[in-house]
Amino acid sequence: MDFMRKSLPKTVKVCGYEIKKMPMGAFLNALETIQTAPTQILNAIWPGKTLDEVLFDLKHLDEQMLVQLITGALSTAAPMLLEMLSELSGIPEEKLREDPNIGPAGIVEIIKTVWEVNDLKNVVAALGDLWSRKAPQMKSGSRA
């Protein structure tokens, strides 16, 4: 596998921007964005509501509330995605939003390129393997 990692390009040009291997700091900043995402999205959809109120609303979900949920989630998640992608790609957030050469298809291409250039598939697999080795094994039928 090492020979494959060595063959990965160090930089790739997408939509006129150079995507490079990210430094560890950019990866950590992106993880910080991911960590706060669920709370921010829930607060955008149900501002000021308690968890019990949110659960009550979800129990009584109707079409109008579903539309509100989806639009609230997307309007909050999209800027977070751009912030994270900017951190990982080195492309300024404003360019990701405003450059007509990027657009939605370009965003997808940039995400795929960041994933490939940084060999994140192998990183995720290695972390999953490490986690499965270190996590206590639950016996079938036991209670935690």
Query: Is 142 within 8 Å of 48 (Cβ atoms)?
Result: no
Instruction: Encode pLDDT of 33-71 as tens digits.
Output: 778 888 888 888 888 988 899 899 888 888 988 888 888
- Assign residue 90 a region (left: φ > 0; alpha: ψ between -120 and 50; beta: otherwise): left
Residue with tokens 């669920």: 38
State how far the Cα of 110 lies from the Cα of 120, in Å rounded to an integer: 14
* pLDDT attached to residue 30: 79
Q: Per residue in 76-96, pLDDT tens? A: 888 888 988 998 899 999 999
Q: How far apart are CA 74 and CA 65, in angstroms?
A: 14
Q: What percent of the chain has pLDDT over 90?
A: 22
Alpha helix segments (H runs only) across the chain: 2-7, 24-45, 51-59, 63-89, 93-98, 103-117, 120-134
Q: Which of 107, 103, 141 is nearest to 19 (CA)?
A: 107
